[in-house]
Structure formats: C-alpha cells, structure tokens
Chain A
C-alpha cells in the first residue's frame, strides 16, 4: 500500500427521510479543520434515494466536494448495499481519512467497510487531530467505561477511519450559497443480491424527549431513593421547561427508560443548564454531560465527585431543595410576567 496515493478528508453523510443527521454536520466542521491543516479537500459522501438535493447543505457546512450515490436501491439503510457504494467510492478516489457519526448506522457501516478494505477503525472518538506533515490521524477516545482516554493511530493503512460521538464536535455556521464540486456516481447492485430487507420502520410512539437537543436538563440519580422520589425530578423539569435525564443506576432500577440515560453508555448532552441531583458523579456519567455550559449539582454528600465537575454545588437534601426551587422559580416567573404586562 502506497500511503502517498491517498488524499482528502471525507465525512459519511447520514440521512433519514431527506434530513441530514446533526452529527454529520458536526463532522463536516471537524473535517474542515483537519483538511485545512493538511491542505487537502474535504468531501461529503451521500448515499440514499433522492438525496442529491442534500448536496447544497453539505457544501454550505464546509465540503469542497460531494460524492452522491442516488439510487432507489438505497431507499433503506442496509449494510450490504451502502457498504458496496462506499467501498466503490474509496477504491475510485482513495481518501486518507473517513469520519462517521457513532450512531447505529454509522457504526454499523464503518465496521463493515473497515473490515473489507481492510484498515483500522477507531471507535467512539471524542477528540480528533492530524499531524500536518505525515497526515497521521490522532483519534482519542474513552475506553474501559470512561476510566481512561486513549489515542489510537493507524500508521500503515489507509484510509484512516473513525466513528465520532454525536455532540462532541462543532458544526460550522452554514455559509449560504457556498458550493463545490458535485460528483454523481452509480453502482450496479441488484435487489436479489442483498440478503436483508427492511419490512417496516417503526417510530417511537411515546413522544420521546430528545435530551440531546434540550437546553435545560434536570437529571436525577439513585439519591432520589425510589421511583416515587424520582417524580420530583419530573416536576422540576416541567417547571423549568426542561427535559429529564438520569444516571444509569436509575435506568437499571427501572424508574425511567433508557433513552433518558446520560453518559458513556447513554446519551451525550450539551445543554445550557444541567442539573445533577442525587447523582454521585461517576466518570461514566461525567463523560456524557461535562460539556454542558452550566452544571449545577445537588447532593447531600459534600465529598461526592460530582462537586469536582460542577459550576455550582449545593450540599443538601434533594427532597428539601427541589420543592423550594420549584416554588421560587414559579414565583419568579410570575413576577416577570407581571413586569412584561406592566411594560406594555
């Protein structure tokens, strides 16, 4: 393998029903930085059915080139068909780096493609950098349940591949009207050759709180004592107009569903305000919330590790503090309303 033959940074653009996954836009931002440092092009790869129009968005978020595979066979995501398209694109244009969102689809596709190429794949990356002259990708990730961070290199194989956690990279501000080179590709695959069929796609029926998109999150931990006690968390969240988060122990106790879990094996969140109430602050929880703009911790144990990770800490009993917060906040809001009315 001649490493010199490989050029450019790629981002796999994940799409569902005509919408680009936010993580793909974040990766375009990260990819732009890497590409500029290397002095190479940044490309987006879109695979799907009727996806060509998405190219303009990909350019606006920083790509110089977009490769599109727009064919009916790509209507549903299936590992085998998408993998073939991406392998075809890699063989034709030889990128030096490819980034994927660490989502169900991104991880599935990246693992399959890396095996076939074959090359190295770094999982769940949270930090990315590149050596300017050698082009070596420095991909860092948590491992051992978040107890350590590791920098993973792939020295002798190309492309260098990584899946990257949603919400840890920043998307660029979209530059309206920015365009680039659109490359349309096609591959020949027959439906009979694909061994899986998507029979149905079922959207979660319960109106799922997207805690990864919330501005305010009130998270509760085992310290709330019971499912009943945990209701206080729901009430505070409701008062503040925020979403409910939870530690893993709460999810395992069955007080709330898994999609509320914040952390290493849950969701990574970046709200403007994060409340951690009755949560000890285990490393696996911290990795999921440490990028919140303001972290407020309430815990009755002054030694709890969460206090090392917060901006404001209150040592005290949740059962005493939450009702006070709810009451005072409602009052404060009412006052504001009166003021607003007064101004008119």
Chain B
C-alpha cells in the first residue's frame, strides 16, 4: 500500500511539468497564434525541423542498412578497422568535434545548410544504427539469402526484396532513435546554422527567451515547448516497445 502511494506521488511529480506546460500554453489559445508569428514564423522552423529529421532518418536508415549488411555478410579488407572507427564515434565527446565540423562544412559548401546538419546527425547516429543493423542481418538465417541467390537474384535484389523486410523491427528502432535525436538536438544546430531562416525548432524557440527588448511571453514559450514535445511524446508512446527493445540491445548514447 505504501508502495502504491509512493509510486503515485512520484508519478504525479514526473507528470506534473508536462501537464502544467500543456495547460499554461492552452490557458490562452492565442499563445499559439503569437508563437506562430514569432520571428520567421513557426511554420518555417517546423518545416526546417521536419526536413532535417526526415533527411537524418532516411540517411541513417540507408547508410546503416547497407553498412550493416556488409558487416554481417561480407568479408572485405579493412572491415574490422572501419567497424572500430565507427564505434570510436561513441568514445569521442560530441561537443568536442563540433567546432572542426563547423569549419569542415564550410569547406564543403555546407555551412548553414540543413543537409549539412543532417549529415552530422547521421554520423552521430551511425555507431548505434550500424551495430543494430549488423546484429539484425546476422540474425537472419543464411539460407533465406542463399536461396534467393541460387534462384538468380543478385545480392542487391536479395537485399532489397527479401532481407530488408526481415530486418524491419531494427529499421523502426533505428529510425525512431534518429528522429528523436535530430528533432530534439540543440547544440549542433546552434553551432552549424547561423541564419535565422534556417533555424530548427529548438534553436528558434530558445531565441524567444533571448530577445533583447520586451518581457518574455511565457505562455507563448510554453506553446513552443508543446510544439516541440508533443510529436516526441506521441511517437514514444506508440513505439515504446521498439524503443525499449532497441535500448536493451546495448549500444546507447547518453
């Protein structure tokens, strides 16, 4: 009984901020209208965020599915070295290579570009994604693929027509992690984007608090918080099972 009371009290503490934020933003629905008009318009920032997340998810899925297949099924020179180099991304603190990435994207003509930002996100997702995909491909019985090869498929046809379907759960997990990471990240877009019209939601909404004149409109701010948080909350609740399973497979990044 005490246990039930403790749990309920804790649940109230954990859920209260979310409920309050939703309530504070809706108390005066014009908060949303005002937020929609902030800066370049919330539509621009939301579109940027959606585009970056889409490119990140697509890029991560394509690169890690191809790579995972290569690591699970082929032997090629430098295989172990490349795998170790990918896992080393986990060892190197995120924040310490953003400054050279900023310079490097400049050389590549990708500074202040949503595509450049997405590539950086794909890179940070790669250790986890590649690890997941390699394990998923390894778990498929070889016979499935060999039967297709004998029937005259090339490896790419076997890969795209048969194997990709078999690893769908891993694809969902990798995609979900890539979405949450790219949608929510603040530091990378803060550094890599410097033109207001290319801001993603986190950077744009934070800039609401740092206006030099006028009082901060807290109701509007909470409307911004909701616009950022609600898609993640819905997605998490719908795909909770995948998230937890992906999580338990070991590779994670704090």
Are A and B physically bound partners?
A: no
